[in-house]
Amino acid sequence: MAAAAGRLFLRSLLAAACIITVLLVSVGSCYILLRRNLPTPETIVSFRAPAATRILDCQGRLIFEYFQERRRPVPLETIPPCLREAVIAVEDHRFYRHWGIDMLRLPGAMLGALRQGDVKGTSTITQQLARCMFLTPERSLIRKLREMVLAVELERHYSKPEILEMYFNQIWLGGPVYGVATAAERYFGKHVSRLDPVECATLGAMIANPSAYSPYRHPERLLRRRNFFLGKLRRLGLLTEGEYQAARQRPLEVMPQPGGQNEAPYFVEEVRRYLIERYGYDFVYRSGSVVHTTLDLDIQAAATSALLNWVDTLE
């Protein structure tokens, strides 16, 4: 009897070992297949997001920007805690406890994919960063799996603060605006470090879908979501009850939509040609450089006004 029980135990142990081996081989094979054609570790580590090159006049005033994506990277320390903590609370509240994939959200994501063929609202901050950096916004199970693989790679090569810094500098926030620093200047006319809690909540509210929560096309919708973020700040202890109630009453207070006027188009075009000839296309449209020129915007405005007046006189 003991011998039979021993043989049964060994067979069960062998069967379990075979099953585990098959599972490991299957997972490893899937990982290798998904990893194919994805960026190498070297590419991930050396990645630099395109940033806008700024053209300044002789007094340091902005004349124009060249960009593929309008972005100005900033260190994580300059981003207000209200913005950082609210976004983590809403987008990925277990950010500091997972390794790129939130296993507690994974079953729901897979179930939704099998039922509807669509995966949404389940990505961690690291997964969102992976998608922004290297993938397309296509909603499919394969893209989601590749996103997970890249998220794990990002967590292997970067610390949590580094991932957060890249995330806040990488995300799209409407139109040509990328990153919270550019968004702060675009929507509130100030440096990101000077944003107050209500403005932080507004930017945080836009991250999920900048088109659906545009302050110009859907202000009411954005206002409701901003107030939801303000509630998160209150629960995190970053706002008192009185501050929260007062903040909810504030309008959006964003800057007017820009008209895209260029005060010195011919000068700017000559500068662009010179820079491309001297330093190349990537320098102009991706480097994030600052170029100081001899143009004076005040004199340029006076010259333009004089020219238009003379044309009117001739007519």
Q: Given the structure tokens 């207000």, which residue do they identify?
A: 80
Residues 6+ apart with CB under 8 A from 157: 41, 44, 45
Work out the angle between the directed axes of helices 219-235 and 241-248 (0-180°, nearest 10).
180
C-alpha distances (whole Å) from 301 to each of 59, 269, 295, 308 are: 14, 17, 11, 11
Kindly report the pTM of this predicted structure: 0.76
Cα–Cα distance for residue pair 34/142, rounded to 1 Å: 8
Q: Which two tokens stand for residue 247?
A: 């903040």
Instruction: Record the tokens describing residue 101, joined without a space.
Output: 């994939």
Residue 133 pLDDT class (50, 70, 90 cuts): confident
Q: What is the C-alpha to C-alpha distance for residues 175 and 168, in angstroms, rounded to an integer?
A: 16
- Interval 12-60: pLDDT, tens: 666 665 666 555 544 444 555 555 667 776 777 777 878 889 999 999 9
pLDDT one-digit tens code per residue, 165-212? 999 999 999 988 999 999 999 999 999 999 999 999 999 999 999 999
The pLDDT assigned to 191 comes to 94
Please spell the DSSP secondary structure of 239-286, one letter per residue.
Answer: S-HHHHHHHHTS---PPPPP----S-HHHHHHHHHHHHHHH-HHHHHH
pLDDT band at 263; cut points 50, 70, 90: confident
